Amino acid sequence: MDKSAIKSKIEALRNELAEHNYKYYVLNQPSISDYDFDMKLKELEALENENPEFFDPNSPTQRVGSDINQEFEQVKHEYRMLSLSNSYSKEELVDFDSRIRKLITEPFEYVCELKFDGASISLIYENGELDRAVTRGDGEKGDDVTTNARTIKSIPLKLKGPGYPSKFEIRGEILLPFATFDELNKAREKAGEPLYANPRNTASGSLKMQNSAEVAKRRLDGYFYYLLGENLPEDGHFENIQHAKKWGFKTSEHTQKCKNIDEVLEYIDNWDEKRNDLPVATDGIVIKVNSIRLQNNLGFTAKSPRWAIAYKFSAERVSTILESVSYQVGRTGAVTPVANLTPVLLAGTTVKRASLHNADIIENLNLHINDEVYVEKGGEIIPKIVGVDESKRHPMAIKVDFIKNCPECETKLVRQEGEAAFYCPNESGCPPQIKGRIEHFISRKAMNIDGLGQETIELLHHEGLIKNSADLYELKAEQIIPLERLGEKSAQRILKSLEESKQIPFERVLYALGIRFVGETVAKILANKLINIDQIMNSTIEELADINEIGGKIAESAIAFFEQEANVQIIESLRSHGLQFELDEGSLEGRSEKLTGLSIIISGTFEKFSRDELKKLIEKNGGKNVGSISKKTSYMLAGSNVGPSKLEKVQKLGIPMISEDDFLKMIE
């Protein structure tokens, strides 16, 4: 290949990898497997090494990667937190062993660990207590997510027993167990919301949520596997992890010491078969030199440690036939395509369906009916189509085009700018949307109506007894008793529960209305800020968007909801039946306007209140919490350990700093 062709090939690979990065990290819509991505990256890396004249500092090969979010305080890692180099073949592991043996002349051991597929975290402990939790970030610095980390039950806040250093760091992986991920997706599917793609992305996104109470509901888990510090108990990495387990950390029972590379390869063979039996996602094995002294001698390259390597499992992939594509309509009107497949065994289960997520994925795959498609599960719960064998496509095969009209009511679908999904706009006449909204209304976290479920709602709707949630309060015993599978006892239970629901507090009633993007947390924020439904309905987009944690997307959705006359009529009907559409006196107690017009950023740790408690006090007194510093910031409420970058920015902009005591005097 001449230099011109090589340059063109390099540029094409760079552009392709950049596009895949964008789809993966920004759109959360990966269109290529991790293995295929890494193979393309290795090809590019080899071409660049052989042709240094085409070096580009912005090439994907020069990217370490970063999960930094400007909404969080950035903290510099005391020890760099870099990623591992990946291998996909045993030959590469043998080469790794040969390189190590050239550099180390004394006997040594390896440690093999399961490579958990989640979000990397660094925890710093001082005097046996959790001081700070920081994400990997760009390896040099990461986001301070301490408040969120404190909600994770497998992270000890205080250590057990003696023997731990006065200060040390432990690293691990924050995960979402398969069972929990499955529950979350079932709830989203029922609510008509797009499904999460995989446990890894969901765990990472959960860790970066602004509301720690919402993080707690995600029930994240974690495994911890690496200690750093000046006074560790042992030189052996494996032995230090055993100490960490005694101190209260959750460690993997499957970590194993190996005398040589042959034992490492046996460990890999064993777990390549057994990994599908684990309760959490794993995507490989990490191999480390056990001695910390030898680790320090081996040191680091620019991007990874020389003393460790990751062996990545290939995601299990099978081929089958795409028989058809069907479409599901959720309560919000979102239309989700589903691939119907010839049944095939994959990762221990029979797969008949695979999510296609949206129209763009169908288009990118260039799907045709009766295509032979490749399906992967790997760390995913939901099988996905990752490719097509176009060489086996029949010349008369029919291309899959995303439908133009709703499969339930025939209304023309719409796609809003910036969104991947198509929606049916016929909110009041599309049966799945009507029934979905009523099912959401009666759900446990909303109105919690006992005796009603999906089948009963289907029956009541089919019989013409309900067309919206307000109709539930018009039901009579004599209408319910004759219905199939019900009867007098069921009727009495339903009517009793409906009557009791009239005492459900306003924020849950607001959530029950099913306004798009208004979940439990947003409903609570709106209710506490605006007090009653009339103030919410009469607010402008700008007024709603200005409320902390609301923003333009939610504000637009709320305004659009209240502009629908049918929705307003339902609210008035529910109000006439006695439902709560304003905060009760207990919730209003202690409110003031002392901080009205003030934007306050909180940073550091405090003695009298937690950060979440201080945020609530700011809002209760009319102020606004902000997550980043700007000229509009009125004050920084500063505790101890404020990050130097934030201090510098505050001083540069001349923003006043107040202490916890100063703040409490302001709201006395």
The 10s digit of each residue's pLDDT in 339-349 is 999 999 886 67
| CATH number for the domain formed by residue range(s) 3-62 | 1.10.287.610
What's the pLDDT at 26?
A: 39
In this predicted structure, the answer to whether residue 380 has a pLDDT above a threshold of 60 is no
Residue 438: HSE in the Cβ half-sphere, 13 Å Cα cutoff: 25
Q: In the 8-state DSSP scheme, what is residue 413?
A: P
Q: How far is Cα 150 from Cα 98, in angstroms, rounded to an integer? A: 42
- Considering 7, 9, 40, 115, which one is annotated as catalytic? 115
Tell me the percentage of the chain whose pLDDT exceeds 70.
94
Q: How far is Cα 668 from Cα 596, in angstroms, rounded to an integer? A: 14
Backbone angles phi, psi at 586, to 5 degrees: -60, -40
What's the pLDDT at 63?
A: 52
Mean pLDDT across 78-93: 87
Mean pLDDT across 59-64: 63
Domain 506-588: which CATH class?
A: mainly alpha
Q: How far is Cα 94 from Cα 89, in angstroms, rounded to an integer? A: 9
The 10s digit of each residue's pLDDT in 119-159 is 999 999 999 989 999 998 878 888 888 888 888 888 988 88
pTM: 0.56
Identity of the amino acid at 234:
E
Q: How far is Cα 472 from Cα 451, in angstroms, rounded to an integer? A: 12
Token output for 48: 């660049």
Q: Which of the four pLDDT bands, split at 50, 70 and 90, describes residue 660?
A: very high
We find that the CATH architecture of domain 317-392 is Beta Barrel (2.40)
**Residue 336: in which H helix or E strand, if any?**
strand 334-346
What's the pLDDT at 65?
A: 45
The beta-carbon contacts of 394-397 under 8 Å, at least 24 apart in sequence, are 394/370, 397/368, 397/369, 397/370, 397/371
Mean pLDDT across 564-592: 90
In this predicted structure, the answer to whether residue 57 has a pLDDT above a threshold of 60 is yes
Q: How far is Cα 263 from Cα 154, in angstroms, rounded to an integer? A: 31
Mean pLDDT across 514-525: 86
Q: How far is Cα 559 from Cα 563, in angstroms, rounded to an integer? A: 6
246-250, 312-316, 512-516, 581-585: range with lowest mean pLDDT: 312-316
Is there a contact between 636 and 659 (Cβ–Cβ < 8 Å)? no
Identity of the amino acid at 26:
V
Is there a contact between 141 and 75 (Cβ–Cβ < 8 Å)? yes
Mean pLDDT across 362-379: 87
Cα–Cα nearest to 202, from 224, 222, 177: 177
What's the pLDDT at 343?
A: 92
Is there a contact between 258 and 314 (Cβ–Cβ < 8 Å)? no
Q: Which of the four pLDDT bands, split at 50, 70 and 90, describes residue 321?
A: very high
CATH (one of 3.40.50.10190, 3.40.640.10, 2.20.28.120, 2.60.40.10) for 599-666:
3.40.50.10190
Mean pLDDT across 342-368: 87
Is there a contact between 109 and 293 (Cβ–Cβ < 8 Å)? no
What's the pLDDT at 21?
A: 66
In this predicted structure, the answer to whether residue 588 has a pLDDT above a threshold of 90 is no
* β-bridge pairing 86-87 and 308-312: parallel
**What mean pLDDT is reported for the chain?**
87
Q: In the 8-state DSSP scheme, what is residue 178?
A: H
Same topology, domains 431-503 and 506-588? Answer is yes
Token output for 466: 């309900």
What are the structural domain ranges in the chain? 3-62, 74-312, 317-392, 431-503, 506-588, 599-666
In this predicted structure, the answer to whether residue 69 has a pLDDT above a threshold of 60 is no
Mean pLDDT across 192-196: 69
The 10s digit of each residue's pLDDT in 393-425 is 999 999 999 999 999 999 999 998 778 889 999
In this predicted structure, the answer to whether residue 643 has a pLDDT above a threshold of 80 is no
What's the pLDDT at 381?
A: 60
Is there a contact between 176 and 154 (Cβ–Cβ < 8 Å)? no
Residues contacting 274, CB < 8 A, separation 6+? none
What's the pLDDT at 348?
A: 61
Q: Is 40 a catalytic residue?
A: no
Is there a contact between 119 and 200 (Cβ–Cβ < 8 Å)? yes
In this predicted structure, the answer to whether residue 70 has a pLDDT above a threshold of 50 is no
Mean pLDDT across 64-86: 72
| CATH number for the domain formed by residue range(s) 74-312 | 3.30.470.30
CATH T-level assignment (fold) for domain 431-503: DNA polymerase; domain 1 (1.10.150)
Mean pLDDT across 13-40: 69
272-281, 303-312, 360-369: range with lowest mean pLDDT: 272-281
What's the pLDDT at 625?
A: 81
Q: In the 8-state DSSP scheme, what is residue 605?
A: B
In this predicted structure, the answer to whether residue 66 has a pLDDT above a threshold of 50 is no
Separation in Å, CA 44 to CA 11, 17, 35, 61, 411: 9, 9, 14, 7, 47
Q: Which of the four pLDDT bands, split at 50, 70 and 90, describes residue 106?
A: very high
Identity of the amino acid at 187:
A
Mean pLDDT across 288-295: 95
Residues contacting 336, CB < 8 A, separation 6+? 194, 195, 327, 328, 330, 355, 356, 357, 358, 421
Task: Determine the straight-line distance between the first and last CA of the chain, rounded to whole angstroms.
Answer: 76
What's the pLDDT at 23?
A: 62
Using DSSP's 3-state secondary structure scheme, residue 200 falls into: helix
Is there a contact between 25 and 379 (Cβ–Cβ < 8 Å)? no
* Cross-strand bridge partners of residue 414: 423
Q: Please classify residue 128 by burial: count the beta carbons closer than 10 Å to its beta carbon, then call 0-12 exposed, 13-18 middle and 19+ buried.
A: middle
In this predicted structure, the answer to whether residue 379 has a pLDDT above a threshold of 80 is no
32-36, 244-248, 277-281, 623-627: range with lowest mean pLDDT: 32-36
Helix residue spans in 129-247 (DSSP H):
146-149, 178-190, 199-207, 212-217, 237-247
In this predicted structure, the answer to whether residue 473 has a pLDDT above a threshold of 60 is yes
